[in-house]
């Protein structure tokens, strides 16, 4: 639900190597009543490895960092996401590790809904790649048949583009829905979401995500209307194991923790993970294509 006051984190770096996670937030903007109120330049570093997770604050560039807290993995193993620190990292990484997740693009849940229907199919091109654009409409209704799209009780309509020659990857999308308002006189507000996904081709000829852009325009909220924007850029490459440890930042390891020198994680691990995500999506959109072809033949 939109609010007048909010915080916006900018300049975020991350690294992922299997279940080793790292995220660095460089500054924080605090907004009040639609105006920039204050910029906090104190940085934060959150990291997680197989033994522990940690939170640091201070100045990252000069390594003037202090340890705020850490969690041993075995002590928080039963908690969601493996503890509070790892849970916070997972929240930030979710749209990066799964660009087609419910946080960013709820197409799978919408397509599975029994009221989903394609209104029009068109051929086109985006960034030199052939795409198929599908206009769609979904009516979740009441009661909700799928909790994953229970964020609206009104029709959802929009379009998406997929590249059939490149693993049926999603290239762009737009959808509009009605969300609960935060004022008694405005029970519902209109939200329009636009997004674009950019790819490179890896050494095996598979498309891999390199950038995800999304903006949400909240309407019917005068004078508080606002636009939320997200721009995620992804690079693939080897990551040294020590980046996920306290000693890398000039701090002592937790009591009893020692490390054996390990090899760097090779780049192909990243590419295989990306290929796995794209393969799942390819199967899904091929199913959609067959469904659409059957619909045309029956018509």
Residues 80 and 185 in one domain: no
pLDDT for position 252: 94
Q: Are 48 and 89 spatial neighbours (Cβ–Cβ below 8 Å)?
A: yes
Does 270 have pLDDT greater than 60? Answer: no
pLDDT for position 29: 64
pLDDT for position 142: 58
Rounded average pLDDT over 44-53: 92
Residues 140 and 92 in one domain: no
More confident residue, 109 or 128: 128
The pLDDT confidence band at residue 291, using thresholds 50, 70 and 90, is low
- Cβ neighbours for 151, distance < 8 A, ≥ 6 positions apart: 177, 179
Residues 157 and 299 in one domain: yes
pLDDT for position 276: 36
pLDDT for position 103: 39
Residues 81 and 115 in one domain: no
pLDDT tens by residue, 178-204: 877 767 777 778 888 888 888 888 777
Residues 225 and 133 in one domain: yes
pLDDT tens by residue, 137-183: 988 765 566 666 666 768 899 999 989 998 888 899 999 988 777 67
Residues 55 and 131 in one domain: no
Residues 33 and 144 in one domain: no
Residues 204 and 153 in one domain: yes
Domain that holds residue 253: 1-97+239-265
pLDDT tens by residue, 3-31: 334 445 456 777 777 778 888 877 666 66
Residues 129 and 26 in one domain: no
pLDDT for position 100: 40
Domain count, the chain: 2
CA-based nearest residue to 95, from 205, 187, 230: 230
Residues 23 and 54 in one domain: yes
Residues 50 and 157 in one domain: no
Percent of the chain with pLDDT over 90: 19
pLDDT for position 11: 66
Does 272 have pLDDT greater than 50? Answer: no
pLDDT for position 188: 78
Does 75 have pLDDT greater than 90? Answer: yes
Residues 190 and 291 in one domain: yes
């Amino acid at each position: 639900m939109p609010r007048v006051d909010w915080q916006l984190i900018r300049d975020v770096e991350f690294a992922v190597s299997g279940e080793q996670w790292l995220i660095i937030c460089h500054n924080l903007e605090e907004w009040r009543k639609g105006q920039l109120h204050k910029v906090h330049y104190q940085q934060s570093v959150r990291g997680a490895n197989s033994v522990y997770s940690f939170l640091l604050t201070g100045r990252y560039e000069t390594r003037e960092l202090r340890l705020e807290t850490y969690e041993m993995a075995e002590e928080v193993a039963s908690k969601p996401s493996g503890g509070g620190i790892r849970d916070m990292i997972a929240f930030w990484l979710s749209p990066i590790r799964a660009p087609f997740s419910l946080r960013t693009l709820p197409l799978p849940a919408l397509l599975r809904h029994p009221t989903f229907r394609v209104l029009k199919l068109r051929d086109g091109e985006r960034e030199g790649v052939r795409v198929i654009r599908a206009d769609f409409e979904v009516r979740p209704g009441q009661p909700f048949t799928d909790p994953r799209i229970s964020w609206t009780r009104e029709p959802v309509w929009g379009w998406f583009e997929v590249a059939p020659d490149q693993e049926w990857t999603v290239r762009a999308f737009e959808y509009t829905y009605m969300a609960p308002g935060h004022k008694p006189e405005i029970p519902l507000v209109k939200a329009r979401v636009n997004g674009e996904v950019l790819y490179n081709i890896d050494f095996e000829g598979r498309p891999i995500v390199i950038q995800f852009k999304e903006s949400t325009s909240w309407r019917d909220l005068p004078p508080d209307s606002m636009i939320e924007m997200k721009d995620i850029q992804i690079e693939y490459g080897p990551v040294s194991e020590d980046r996920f440890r306290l000693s890398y930042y000039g701090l002592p390891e937790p009591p009893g923790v020692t490390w054996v020198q390990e090899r760097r994680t090779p780049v192909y691990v990243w590419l295989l993970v990306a290929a796995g995500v794209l393969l799942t999506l390819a199967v899904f959109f091929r199913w959609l294509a067959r469904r659409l072809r059957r619909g045309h033949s029956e018509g």
